[in-house]
Chain A
Amino acid sequence: MNLRFAAITVCGMLLTAAAVLWLFDRQISGAWFRLGLQPEIAAALERSLADQKELARLAPERREELRSRFGETQTLLNHLRILEHNREEILRRWELVLLAAVGGILAVAGGAHLVRQSRLDARIERLRMALVALSAGQEDLEIGDRGRDTLGRIAAMIEETSRAMARDRKRLAYLKNLSVWQETARRHAHEMRTPLTAARLELARLQQFLEEPQRLDEARQVAASVGEELERLGRFTQQFTSFARLPQPRLEVHDLGRVVEEFATTFAAAWPNLTLRLEPAGRPLPVALDREMLRQTLVNLCDNSSLALRAFEGRRGTVTLRLSEAGRNTVLDVADDGPGIPPEIRSRVFEPYVTTRKVGEGMGLGLAICKKILLDHGGDLEIRESTVKGTTFRLTFPHPQEEAA
């Protein structure tokens, strides 16, 4: 509750109560009391007593009746005199009663306000928790606030929003899934159709050559070509197999610097348009890793850099392998000076079948496989930076003890 607002409210209530109390006491109850005790009334009653006695003297036959009236008038006069005698005490008691009544009303009003405020706070807290759950992606929220006031309407809107979001999320997931499958089917169809078409044409030629024995050498060449196309189809299916049956890494603790250095030495001439440059950490970096899988990852990253540079005006470039420690993790940054990843696919490059290459030049599975390998190491693979001056991928490895834990 806002304390300043509560203090202003309480002060306002007290001032209003004091004003009402004063007005009621002075202008209403006090005024009536003063009116009842006007000296003129007592004087009139005294004159009435004197008149009744005089009347009784003049009309003796009505003496008893007049005496009775005299007694009644005198009693009334006595009451007024006694009240006059207690005027101050009566007014004081009346003020106390008024004060107690106003105090009671204020206490009840304050209590009711506090109860209402605490209920409001509880409802607001429920709304806040619902919003937290909504932001966390929880679907079909049930807040259970059926109030007809603003908060109740807000609760209903949050519930409706969560239902709408759930519908949209399912629809989006379905469409995304459908899109992935469509892209997959398109790539598969192309990857399979190209060698199959080539093989069919070559087989037709082979049949023609077999009918002409003098062209046996050409027939052999065609048969070899068919074999190449089928080999290409085999490599394609092998990629699927490696993605689908990616084994778990066999982790052993190695010095990451040494492993990367060996890679840089071994693959120094593997990519004609690439120069591999090593920036060591200057101290051993023990990491639990699968050497073969790490090599596969680095090869894939360098392949991508090489292909990107080749597509970018066919120029040469450098891939820098930079080792360091970041917090409790060991980090390997793989940075090239290529054209960078297009922004429109930057957030999706680790998804399967996402690639900038034309159909037939790659399946878009490489980075997805690399990401999976690093995740299986308990680490991660992320894009640290990607601009028109180059891209840096960061491979993160946990500390060996933490990985063991």
Chain B
Amino acid sequence: MRPRWLLLLFLSVRLDALQAPAVEAAREGVVLTRLPSILTDKEVRKHLETGLTTSFVFETRALGTGAPVKGGARVDIRYELWDEVYIVSRVDANGRAARTTFPSFGHLDQWWRDARLAVLRPPPPANARIEIRLRVIPFSQTEQLETQRWFSQALSGEVSGSAGAASGESESFGQFLNLLIATSIGRPALLEYEWNLTIPPGKKR
């Protein structure tokens, strides 16, 4: 088992290494620009090419405005191995969803650097502090559930969805145990970053 303190040490090192995104107040809310160049990170790049859906989850919390205001946005990137294209789905704080396809990693990285991501709405007053947390999730919930189901079937000895030889109570108990083990498959973050930024005065665009 990996000791927790090693993970914390690793995270603190990564925190220093990654440039914080820029924050600006706009009509659509608090917007992140110049997103950190995380895609070029060796580990993230390698993971992106596995074909699993990598989620970049931004969670924000505005402080100093009475009750904390929470928001967030998510960018899912999946590399389509057969067609060799990157499929990007994004959902921002306003609920706007978009899906884009990029033919190469260069295009994707360029899009990432130019992206504007609304993470908080409505915008807090100027000079309010905002806490931003970025979690890189290595696979989607759908992929997680499919793997749980597949793993549970594999433990039960089922082939192509057919039940094994066991039956009755022993089968139910076995299924319960398999389910118990299969549900240990979670979506722990691959990487985590946190920034505390101050929102500059808004400029109307």
Name A residues whose Cβ lies closer than 8 Å to a Cβ of B.
49, 53, 67, 70-71, 74-75, 77-79, 81-83, 85-86, 88-90, 92-94, 97
Contact = CB atoms under 8 A, between A and B. Distances in A.
Given A78-B51, A85-B188, A86-B188, 5 more contacts: A78-B50, A86-B185, A89-B186, A89-B188, A94-B181
Nearest to A81: B50
A67 B82 contact: yes
Contacts of A49: 81
Given A89-B188, A93-B181, A94-B181, A82 B1 contact: no
Contacts of B183: 93
Nearest to A53: B82
Contacts of B147: 78-79, 82-83
Nearest to B1: A88
Interface of B: 1-2, 50-52, 81-82, 138-139, 143-144, 146-147, 150-151, 177, 180-181, 183-186, 188
Main secondary structure of the interface of B (DSSP, over half): loop
B140 to A, nearest CB: 10
28 contacts: A49-B81, A53-B82, A71-B82, A78-B52, A78-B143, A78-B147, A79-B146, A79-B147, A79-B151, A81-B50, A82-B52, A82-B138, A82-B139, A82-B143, A82-B147, A83-B151, A86-B188, A89-B184, A89-B185, A89-B188, A90-B181, A90-B184, A93-B181, A93-B184, A94-B184, A97-B177, A97-B180, A97-B181
Nearest to B144: A82
Contacts of A89: 184-186, 188
A85 B138 contact: yes
B175 to A, nearest CB: 13
Contacts of A71: 82
A62 to B, nearest CB: 14
Given A82-B185, A94-B181, A75 B52 contact: no
A83 B148 CA distance: 9
A49 B1 CA distance: 32
Contacts of A74: 51, 81
Contacts of B150: 79
Provide the main secondary structure of the chain A interface: helix
A59 B183 CA distance: 41
Contact of B184 (A77, A81, A92): A92
Contact of A88 (B2, B51, B146): B2
Contacts of B185: 82-83, 86, 89-90
Contacts of A85: 138-139, 188
Contact of A78 (B1, B2, B139, B180): B139
Nearest to A42: B50
Contacts of A83: 147, 151, 185
A83 B188 CA distance: 12
A89 B2 CA distance: 10
A97 B183 CA distance: 12
Contacts of A86: 184-186, 188
Nearest to B176: A97
B151 to A, nearest CB: 7
A71 B139 CA distance: 17
Contacts of A82: 52, 138-139, 143-144, 147, 185
A82 B150 CA distance: 11
B1 A92 contact: yes
Nearest to B183: A93
Contacts of B52: 78, 81-82
B17 to A, nearest CB: 22
A79 B144 CA distance: 8
A70 B51 CA distance: 12
A70 B147 CA distance: 17
A77 B150 CA distance: 12
- In this complex, the member of B1, B81, B138 whose beta carbon has the largest number of chain A beta carbons within 10 angstroms is B81
A71 B52 CA distance: 12
Nearest to A88: B1
A295 to B, nearest CB: 92
Nearest to A66: B82
Leading 10 A-B pairs by shortest Cβ distance = A93-B184, A82-B147, A86-B185, A79-B147, A89-B184, A90-B184, A79-B150, A88-B1, A93-B181, A74-B51
Contacts of A67: 82
B143 to A, nearest CB: 6
Q: Which of B1, B82, B146 has the most CB of A within 10 A?
A: B82
Nearest to B177: A97
Nearest to B180: A97
Nearest to B184: A93
A93 B177 CA distance: 10
A162 to B, nearest CB: 49
Contacts of B184: 86, 89-90, 92-94
A85 B52 CA distance: 12
A254 to B, nearest CB: 89
Contacts of B143: 78, 82
A17 B177 CA distance: 19
